[in-house]
Structure 1
Amino acid sequence: MRTYAIGDIHGHLAKLHAAHALIAADRAACGDQEAPIVHVGDLVDRGPDSSGVIEYLMQGQGRGENWIVLRGNHDRMFLGFLEDPFTEDPILSPHVSYLNPRVGGEATLQSYGIPDAFSRPLEDIAPELTAIPQTHRDWLVAQPAYFTRGAAIFVHAGIRPGIPLEDQVEDDLLWIRKPFLTDRRDHGALVVHGHTNIEAATHYGNRLNLDSGAGYGHPLSTVVIEGRDAWLLTPEGRAELPRG
């Protein structure tokens, strides 16, 4: 059972287009036009074109592409800001606002034509949030927090070890690091995730981290998964990701 997956996009539409081109090449090479493409969340923030990323993925799903788009913590923060810009996500550090450049919300608003959000009072910005189309808001709300297929679980941040999938809470699915990242136990399926920025996509045996730092100017990782085996897609073809 084959599945394609793409790491944290963070507003980089050109990198997303390149990732889909790599998948198209692999599809042609293996003759599989049906395998789904899973995007593991964090569509927005930091990069230059969050609005374009959302529109591209929304339009693709609308025309029937077999694309699964998961909700990441940055996507949830964006939605929360749109609902009430004066209230932050409860998991976010109280010393860092959504609009802080470290989070990247200012770049997201800029992509919708709302400039200099971090340096202006929220009272001035709030009325301008009508620039974000309701279709984008509704689409983001509708995206799931996880997806299962074959021997893999796809989720943005990870899972809390030892808890059945149906009992996991969204805060963990979208935000967890420890104890998930340090747990070497088998989780019953390969957990494919992003959220925690590392140098390159890495297969740890029980999990596969795809966040290679696209939001910080690094590559966007694209992989193909068959069972619990995975390959990084490159312009030269597949590169095996050995199990750690």
Structure 2
Amino acid sequence: MIARLLRRLGAALGLRVDARPARPEAGDVLYAIGDIHGRADLLHALFRQIDEDQADRAGPAGVEIVLGDFIDRGPASRAVMDLILSRRALGRRVVVLKGNHEEMLLRFLKDPAALKGWRKIGGYPTLLSFGVSPPAFLDAATATACQHEFRAALGTAHLALLGGLDLSFSNGGYFFAHAGVAPARPLNRQRAADLISIRRPFLDHDESFGQVVVHGHTPCRAVEFRSNRINIDTGAYATGVLTCLVLDGDGHRLLQT
């Protein structure tokens, strides 16, 4: 009862108060990266900061978790994907989660009619980053032609990255998802639609989810620390602030552009 009251008080004050603070699995260091949205310049700078942080540490490399929505809106979605692929090629442990923007891209690859919805949420800059000109007039024929051109422009590695996105990741006391979780469901029974798109009732929930949920999807001026969740979407596309939450046995800290 006391722990619950402390969590509620912390949530009301915007503080993280927990009788049993969350920790990663023993020896692990977790680097969670918020919504990138086509800002390859910021991701490049943040990877440099992670490398510098790792250089000061002994032991194995940390786990880097990209929380989804790494494409769209910004001008360099292809370059963002290339940076992630290069990171993996270096042998880094990189977990990449699916956001609602990646889900819309994948829908478009299956159904040209999805281009209308993708355009509304900032998909056209992603097409341009792959050298594909969006149709000036959108109808069934132009959408289909655009789909064929985009599919051809996507390299094998890009398609493999998009096809292999995870919906969630769990480590120790932390659960990672793009948007959040449905409070009424156990973490191991979450629906894909909630993991990539939920806002409320997740954001309004002040009880424990069983693990601290680290998420993005809902932009905030500063990182939100709650007793049951941490929101690290600092609106990089518009603000220039891309956030990485570092979690280790000593607690948490931030790296930011």
Q: What TM-score, normalized by structure 1, do the two folds share?
A: 0.85
For 1:128, which of 149, 155, 160 is the aligned residue?
149
Alignment of 1:89-238 (within 5 A): 97-100=117-120, 103-117=121-135, 119-121=137-139, 123-124=141-142, 125-129=146-150, 130-226=152-248, 229-234=251-256
Q: Secondary structure at the match of 1:21?
A: helix
Question: Do the aligned partners of 1:106 and 1:117 also contact (CA within 8 Å) in 2?
Answer: no
2:84 aligned with 1:84, yes or no?
no
Deviations 1:176-226 (A, max 9, x none): 000100001111111000000111212112101010001224311112012
Identity %, equivalent residues: 35
Q: Structure 1: give runs of 5+ residues left out of the alignment.
A: 89-95, 236-244
Deviates most, 43-52 or 19-28 = 19-28
Match for 2:130: what amino acid?
Y
The 3 A distance-change label for structure 1 pair 118 and 24 is farther
Match for 1:145: what amino acid?
L
The alpha carbon displacement at 1:82 in A equals 1.7
Query: Which of the pair has more CA radius of gyration?
Result: 2
Match for 1:157: what amino acid?
A
Q: What TM-score, normalized by structure 2, do the two folds share?
A: 0.81
Q: Structure 2: give runs of 5+ residues left out of the alignment.
A: 1-27
The alpha carbon displacement at 1:97 in A equals 2.1
Distance 2:55 2:157 in 1: 33
Question: Do the aligned partners of 2:218 and 2:233 also contact (CA within 8 Å) in 1?
Answer: yes
Distance 2:181 2:174 in 1: 12
The size of the alignment, in residue pairs, is 226
Distance 2:212 2:131 in 1: 40
Structure with the bigger RCO (C-alpha within 8 Å, sep 6+) is: 2
The 3 A distance-change label for structure 1 pair 28 and 59 is closer
The alpha carbon displacement at 1:120 in A equals 4.7
